[in-house]
Structure 1
Amino acid sequence: MTGHVGEQGRVLLAGTPLGRPDDASARLAAALATTPVIAAEDTRRLQRLCADLGVAPTGRVVSFFDANEADRVPALLDALRAGEDVLVVTDAGMPSVSDPGYRLVAAAVDAGLDVTCLPGPSAVTTALAVSGLPVDRFCFEGFLPRKAGARRRALEALIDEPRTAVLFEAPHRIAATLADCVAVLGADRRACVCRELTKTHEQVRRGTLAELAAWAADGLRGEITVVVAGAVTSAAAPDAASLAAEVEAREAAGQPRKEAIAEVARARGVAKRVVFDAVVAAKRQQSR
């Protein structure tokens, strides 16, 4: 794993277990034992992981987390240029995926240094695999904004998104986030909440956003990943006539058509264009 005299070192991105130490790969254990520099998100968690794996690191360990990542990059680049490999490990999962690592990777690439990966666990792909939702195409949104207004605006970008979306959320914000998902994406959209993936108390809950929001109303504990189904496309749209009728009823009550279409789309968990197409088709039918 180490660099050689006269050669430049490599950045080694290592996926660490989400919960169970025995999910660690043999390559990770070997890298922890031999790599000259280990950049760890939490040095205490690294110590526990090494103890669980029966590994004694021989390289120097430096802390490498969100608040100090930018400051650490220059020294790590110097180590790479001096021929030392740098192993990047986070608390759990794959570095740079909503975790430290991206800045170092970008800087190393810009400097013409090698970056490679020791494949391992990822909460994103694990949650997708168990969700029961379509996974042939998906998008990853990471952590949504903490403030309600910004969070809802971020969710609005997913109203017409046909791909399954994966989100991370903190346990103390999950109730508010799911409530916002209901308000913005519609009560009937399918979703899955994964809590403590791969751990002893793993819990995977599937249902509509409304059902999941009610279940999580009092909050949850642990690491949480949310998987939300994509918007329904025109080919799979439910009952176009009823969608058009709902818009017509809202218009009759004085709501502008554009606003009515958006509200119906949210309530029914479909893309706005599906509702718009239903309205257009209904108008054509009436004009015949």
Structure 2
Amino acid sequence: MVGVTEVVTNTAPPLPDEAATAAAGAALASGVRIRTLAEVADLGAVSRLFESIWRPAPGNPLVTAELLRAMVSAGNYVAGAFDGPELLGACFGFFGEPAKGGLHSHIAGVATAGHGRGIGFALKLHQRAWALRQGVTEISWTFDPLVRRNAHFNLTKLAARPARYLPDFYGPMHDGINGAGDTDRLMVAWDLASPPVRTAAAGHPGRVDAAALRDGGAAVALAAGPDGGPATGAADAPVVLVAVPPDIEALRRTEPELGRAWRVALREVLGGLLEGGAAVTGFDRAGWYVVAKEHTS
């Protein structure tokens, strides 16, 4: 009897091709064309877009066209999302420590006219596909952990994971978004090849249910009190829930003292948990970080 050798062929596309397909699909769904930028005119448009979003103090632009030009010429990443000739979003990143081989995504923003279309998601998937083509497997960036929609976007839609809590990372920024308060940030790491990221890029992000976790014994270490300010509790369970307010940006304008109180409380609670070795494992869109203390070494 003649033996038969079964040959199993892996028909899955290489990861860079898979990422490019996901990025193209996200751009199509949001109705934009995304491309990397190198010309001074385009880079000037990016600088002006960022200024229109963040509204920095006069004479203090977030980034100039000249700096972007230098960054691009050195091989870094600048891309824009266009609806016809109109620039609706942009993203800028630069390479980090040579030994780590990662990319740091410094600024990403979408104009008000482009909100609600998924343009930010499409830009990040374009950046992921570009990075994988360069042999990069991790992208890092920072975001304000008090901004609920950003936490949902970064931790749920993109499946990035917080690596560090950084108190007053930038110092006073005096712009239309951050105000003059402390600029605490979460540094996140985006493992471009991880199963959660690949699933999220395909449009199927993982989700957590804080209410179910609370019913199952999770501790509530920070919640909103009756006055809308922070109310601290105990972090005495393996899973801990940490709340953020519904709209910190509005709170900073209308009740700045409460806004500052939330900053201090989140720094102490979430920052303290991460400093102690716990890990953020997800974010419930209702406004809860889910923290696992069993990651403590």
Give the structure-2-normalised TM-score: 0.25
Higher RCO (C-alpha 8 Å, min separation 6)? 1
Q: Which structure is higher in helix share?
A: 1
Q: Which structure is higher in strand share?
A: 2
The structure number with the bigger radius of gyration is 1
